[in-house]
Amino acid sequence: MTDALLTAALAARANAFAPFSHFQVGAALEDGEGRIHTGCNVENATYGLTVCAERVAVFKAISEGVRQFRRIAVAADTDALTPPCGACRQILWEFCGDIEILLVNPRGKTETYRLKELFPKPFDVSYL
C-alpha cells in the first residue's frame, strides 16, 4: 500500500477502543496542506455516546484550527468495504464538503467515492 492516507487509516484502526462490538475503525483525514489527522472509533457502554473514527479525525483537525480538507480514508476489517455512517456523512459534509472518500481493509482492497455519491441530498446551512 503506497498511499500514506490509507496507511494512516489502517494504523489508526489499531487504536480503536471497541470492547463491546469489536468493530475497529480507523480514519485519516488529509487537510488542505497535505497534513494527515487520524481518528479511531471510541465506544461507550451506552453505545449512544460512542464516537466514530471519522468524527474523531474531523474534530481533532478542527480543534487544531484546520478548515480545509481534501480527502478522508476509512479503514475497517470487512470484505464489503465500510462507508461512513449517516452521522459521519453529515459531519463530513458540513466541515469538509464534497471530499474524496477512500475505503480500505487490511487486505488492501480499496474503493473511492465522492461524498456527494454517498450523501446525495445533504442538509446544510443553505436550508436555514
Closest CA to 26 of 34, 36, 127, 87: 36
Cell representation of residue 116: 456527494
pLDDT recorded at residue 14 = 98
Element housing 40 (H / E)? strand 36-40
Convert the pLDDT of each residue in 92-119 to its tens digit. Answer: 999 999 999 999 999 999 999 999 999 9
Matching residue, cell 480500505: 104
Q: Which residues contact 87 (CB under 8 A, 6 or more apart)?
A: 52, 55
pLDDT digits (tens, 9 = 90+) for 34-55: 999 999 999 999 999 999 999 9
How far is Cα of residue 11 from the mean position of the Cα atoms in its chain? 13
Annotated active-site residue 43? The verdict is no
Domain range summary for the chain, segments of one domain joined by +: 4-119
Q: Among residues 30, 33, 43, 54, which one is catalytic?
A: 54
Length of the chain: 128
Q: Please choose, from the candidates 48, 53, 61, the residue with its C-alpha nearest in 3D space to the C-alpha of residue 17.
A: 53
CA dist 3 and 20 (Å) reads 31
Task: For residue range 55-94, list pLDDT tens digits in order.
Answer: 999 999 999 999 999 999 999 999 999 999 999 999 999 9
Residue 88 CB neighbour total at 10 angstroms: 25
Helix H or strand E segment including 92: helix 86-96
Domain 4-119 fold: Cytidine Deaminase; domain 2 (3.40.140)
Would you place residue 1 in the very low, low, confident or very high pLDDT band (cuts 50, 70, 90)? low
